[in-house]
Structure 1
Amino acid sequence: MRVIGLMSGTSYDAVDAAAADLRFDGDRLVLTPLGLLSQPYTPELRAAIAGSLPPASTSMEQVCRLDTGIGRAFAEVARQAVEQLCGGSADLIVSHGQTVFHWVDGGTVRGTLQLGQPAWIAEATGTAVVSDLRARDVAAGGQGAPLVSILDVLWLRGRPGVPIALNLGGIANITVVHGEPVAFDTGPANALIDAVVQELTGREFDVDGVMAGRGRVHDVLLERLLSEPYYGRSAPKSTGKELFNLAYLARALEGLSEIPADDLVATVTALTARTVADAVRRYGGTEVIASGGGIRNPVLMDQLASELGPVPLRSTDELGLPSAAKEAYAFAVLGFLTVNGLGGTVPSCTGARHPSVLGSVTPGARGIPAAGRDARPPVSLAIE
């Protein structure tokens, strides 16, 4: 089955599309990458998303406009992916949408909201769409995240030691693939770095880590940032920009003398490296396999490698899965499992009471792809 996964993460900078051929081979799920593309949000849409996120307030009119605008942006990327990556025909599209709120109350997730009306995608492509994949896990008592953990577990389960998959998006998350798997958000990845750079320079992010590389870590500020109780909570847990935003940084800065811009960026970059490495150490990780936009920041990666010490740090590219589109591939897998009537969660990773078949399906011009009559839950995933 040719499946396209669509993803925009908590950095809300672009829509990524990854196409794959997915099939069952006995108890294996085989993923053959067919290519990927990425389309930035327009400046207007990106500004509208940024203006609606906490701690900003919004209105139902703005929510409706965003749902349509994001849906149409996803639809255009999906249309391009069908033509350019799938030769004009795909069997299924899986859309994560854009997370705009993740409601956490005392460590319990009460709800999560991803916008991007899937009807626009189905209409533009004629292809069935699986969307709204996080809500069912939340309803089953889970965090609704990290949903990529099922791909990590199936893919990395056979590796020696304690492999840990790391995603460095706006928020960093890890999957510990050993024994009963564990997955959780460790804290901010690019969220604070990008927010500080945008606030101080107007640029979208710290290109090549230049500002962090020039700056010096402010030890007092770093210790204040590390005092956030979230870091000490037990897994499973999840978070977002509702917590890790400029207000969080402003509270830590209270009473301190003015800190140079480069030093601020260096400090929040060090925060990401430290909190990720702390989480890896806590679970005895023997290798870290990274993906996400953060791996393009050489200063962040150097700091993380230094914090990890003897634990090897490598990218998913080295193992055959393009790091730039890992999450999009993961959602393609989730949607494929959905139309085959199979659960898409690992309860020990999300904290749910049981595995759940995820998402809602919007029919395409040919209806909904037929589920495999004898599909059984896979025990491993191969990239071929």
Structure 2
Amino acid sequence: MRVVGLMSGTSCDAIDAAAADLTVVGRTLYLTPLGMVGEPYEAELTAALAAALPPAATTLAEVCRLDTRIGQAFARVALRADRELCGGRAGLFASHGQTVYHWADGGRVHGTLQIGEPAWIAEATGRPVVAGFRPRDITAGGQGAPLVSLIDRMWLRGRPGVPAALNIGGIANLTVLPPAGEPVAFDTGPGNALLDAAVRELTGGRLDHDADGALAAAGTVHEPLLARLLAEPYYALPAPKTTGRELFHHRHLHTALAPFTPLPAPDLLATLTRLTARTVADALRPLGATEVIASGGGTRNPVLMDMLRTELGPATALRTSDALGLPAAAKEAYAFAVLGFLTLHGLPGSAPGCTGAAGPRILGSITPGREALRLPGPPPAGPPDTLVVGPAPAPAS
């Protein structure tokens, strides 16, 4: 099946679409990447979304408008991906939508909200759409994240040592495969969220990120501020755990900065970059990770990657997912393409040992396209347990 995964992460700035041919042979799922397209949100939509996100207040009318406009934006990117990457032959779209609230309290997640109405995608493309992936895991007692942990487990299965997958978006999350027992997965804390918030404030909204880490590279880490930021109780919570911009937003940063005189912009950004690197490394160290395979927008920041490499130390190799065949910028979009494929085939898409759910669950809801919806059913050998990036072997003659 040819599937397009659509993703907008916690940076809330753009939509990524990745297309893949997916084939199951026995218990192995083969993923052949077909490419990626991406589009930033229009400036006015970005501003409206930012104005509605926590800790700001909003209205149901504004949520309705954003749900519609983001759904329409996803539909435009879906059409483009089908045309440019799939030759008009995509069979399924899997849309993560845009997370606007993740209701976590007392170590539990009680609810989550992703907007971007999938009916717009189904209407524009005429194909079925799987969306709303996170709530089903939450209803089973899980955190609803990181859902990519199932794909990470399938993908890294059999690698030597203790491999870990790390995604650095607005929030950073990881999956670690110990040599025995269940994988461990959770959000480590801010990836780019505080960095981007600081850049927007420092530049009056002219910039939304520190391109190539240039500003941070010119600064010096302010150790007292770093220590204050590291005192956030979230970091000490046991896994499984998730977080989001409900916690790590500009007011969180202002509270930490309050005791200090204004810092030079490069020093502030250097400190926030070190915060991300330190919290990721602190999360990985007790798990004994010997290899970290990174993806997400943070991998484009060489200063962050250098700091992370230093924090991890020479015993832990750091590389991007490109080295294993999945482009770092598109890895999460490919992961949701796989999750959509599993849902359509009636297969679980969650790893309960990673999210804390009572058991595996079939995720999401299906919006039919123009044709009658015919579900293909699970493959004869059962759910795939291994993911291989590359074409499926030719059938034996």
TM-score range, shorter chain: over 0.9
Match of 1:312 among 311, 317, 330: 317
Q: Distance in 1 between matches of 2:379 and 2:200?
A: 51
Match of 1:46 in 2: 46
- Given that 1:92 and 1:369 are in contact with CA atoms closer than 8 Å, whether structure 2 keeps it comes out as no
**May I ask how many residue pairs the two structures share in their alignment?**
384
Match of 1:147 in 2: 147
- Given that 1:27 and 1:378 are in contact with CA atoms closer than 8 Å, whether structure 2 keeps it comes out as yes
Match of 1:172 in 2: 172
- 1:359 maps to a residue whose letter is G
Match of 1:380 among 386, 392, 395: 386
Do structure 1's residue 198 and structure 2's residue 200 form an aligned pair? yes
**Is the partner of 1:324 in helix, strand or coil?**
coil
Do structure 1's residue 260 and structure 2's residue 264 form an aligned pair? yes
- 2:144 maps to a residue whose letter is G
By how many angstroms is 1:377 displaced? 1.0
- Given that 2:7 and 2:16 are in contact with CA atoms closer than 8 Å, whether structure 1 keeps it comes out as yes
**Is the partner of 2:330 in helix, strand or coil?**
helix
Q: Distance in 1 between matches of 2:126 and 2:337?
A: 17
Identity %: 64
Match of 1:211 in 2: 215
Pairwise mapping of residues 1-384 of structure 1 onto structure 2 (< 5 A)?
Answer: 1-178=1-178, 179-201=181-203, 202=205, 203-310=207-314, 311-372=316-377, 374-375=379-380, 376-384=382-390
Q: Distance in 1 between matches of 2:287 and 2:46?
A: 37
Q: TM-score normalised to the size of structure 2?
A: 0.96
By how many angstroms is 1:368 displaced? 2.6
Q: Distance in 1 between matches of 2:121 and 2:19?
A: 15
**Is the partner of 1:323 in helix, strand or coil?**
coil
Q: Distance in 1 between matches of 2:376 and 2:164?
A: 32
- Given that 2:346 and 2:378 are in contact with CA atoms closer than 8 Å, whether structure 1 keeps it comes out as no
CA deviation profile, 1:153-178 (whole Å, cap 9, x unmatched): 00001101110000000000000112
- 1:361 maps to a residue whose letter is I
Match of 2:393 in 1: none
- Given that 1:128 and 1:369 are in contact with CA atoms closer than 8 Å, whether structure 2 keeps it comes out as no
- 1:354 maps to a residue whose letter is G
- Given that 2:129 and 2:369 are in contact with CA atoms closer than 8 Å, whether structure 1 keeps it comes out as yes
By how many angstroms is 1:373 displaced? 5.0
**Is the partner of 1:259 in helix, strand or coil?**
coil
Q: Distance in 1 between matches of 2:134 and 2:385?
A: 22
- 2:350 maps to a residue whose letter is T
Q: Which runs of 5+ in 2 are unaligned?
A: 391-397
Q: TM-score normalised to the size of structure 1?
A: 0.99
By how many angstroms is 1:107 displaced? 1.0
CA deviation profile, 1:120-149 (whole Å, cap 9, x unmatched): 000000010000000000000000000011
Q: Distance in 2 between matches of 1:255 and 1:154?
A: 46
Q: Distance in 2 between matches of 1:305 and 1:373?
A: 41
- Given that 1:91 and 1:369 are in contact with CA atoms closer than 8 Å, whether structure 2 keeps it comes out as no
Q: Which runs of 5+ in 1 are unaligned?
A: none
Q: CA RMSD in A?
A: 0.8
- Given that 2:168 and 2:295 are in contact with CA atoms closer than 8 Å, whether structure 1 keeps it comes out as yes
- Given that 1:119 and 1:362 are in contact with CA atoms closer than 8 Å, whether structure 2 keeps it comes out as yes
- Given that 2:347 and 2:378 are in contact with CA atoms closer than 8 Å, whether structure 1 keeps it comes out as no
Q: Distance in 1 between matches of 2:15 and 2:361?
A: 26
- 1:54 maps to a residue whose letter is P
CA deviation profile, 1:38-75 (whole Å, cap 9, x unmatched): 01110011111111100000000000000000000000
Q: Distance in 1 between matches of 2:97 and 2:156?
A: 26
- Given that 1:6 and 1:95 are in contact with CA atoms closer than 8 Å, whether structure 2 keeps it comes out as yes
By how many angstroms is 1:248 displaced? 1.0
**Is the partner of 1:57 in helix, strand or coil?**
coil
